[in-house]
Structure 1
């Protein structure tokens, strides 16, 4: 896969670009945010595990085929250390830009790594959230 994506100088930019690509239903832009490595993985909310660019592209195409996804983070804990950033978020999912009430909630874990191309996604795990209140962090850094 050619690396035509811009260089991201921090992991937060990648997470923001991910949300924006889903909002635009832009599979190419979303896939360009991933490491250029066959070891990348993605678990979709329904539990399907995808490995590598081809499988992740197919999964994103299916996910965005009928509608855009507008993700609104309502709780986030992030950790970073020496070229690795991990985001644990609970996100309200809207299916239209003008939708006020969320359609459902997702718990998303993103692992973002820094390489010679800047920051890129290495792993994403998404699952449906059964109870939003239990997903909210107790403190800003998530420690008790």
Structure 2
């Protein structure tokens, strides 16, 4: 049973590796985190839909090279089952320019356990509406957390 208790921790390692690869604009590392299936999909915060590994690679390359960001998770909710972990995360997408205002984004990551590894099967990101982002930021400033 202790082995099972650690299985979901490895999914968090995959998520952290994703954040690191995005910050470094390391497309090869980023793509190594996806499950090797053509059903994978990514809906980006700008509304673009990327389906299949080739489309995800080219779409993320264009986006990250045009505007590099680092992603700061602000509120994380985790839903797990035996072979799937879903992360629902409120994130701040911080541009490389420190003077720029971060974008507030809700992102859902769906990860599946395959051949002993956690891999990304789907990402769905949506920009927070301005009013929601303002309320979220105010609560975070006052130490209330995102959902209090």
List, as ranges, runs of 4+ consecutive aligned residues in structure 1 with deviation greater than 6 Å.
none
Report the number of matched residues: 130
More helix as a share of residues: 2
TM-score norm. by structure 2 comes to: 0.80
**Partner of residue 24, structure 1:** 24
**5+ residue gaps in structure 2?**
1-7, 138-145
**Partner of residue 80, structure 2:** 80
Shift of residue 101, structure 1, vs aligned partner: 7.0
**Partner of residue 107, structure 1:** 106
Map Cα deviations across residues 65-118 of structure 1 (whole Å, 9 max, x no partner).
12321111111111111011000001111112x737742111100000001151
**5+ residue gaps in structure 1?**
1-7, 139-144
Q: RMSD over aligned Cα, in angstroms? A: 2.1
TM-score norm. by structure 1 comes to: 0.82
Instruction: State the alpha-carbon separation in 1 of the partners of residues 91 and 103 from structure 2.
Output: 9
Larger radius of gyration: 2
Residues 69 and 95, structure 1, Cα contact 8 Å, conserved in 2 = yes
Q: Greater relative contact order: 1 or 2 (C-alpha under 8 angstroms, separation 6 or more)?
A: 1
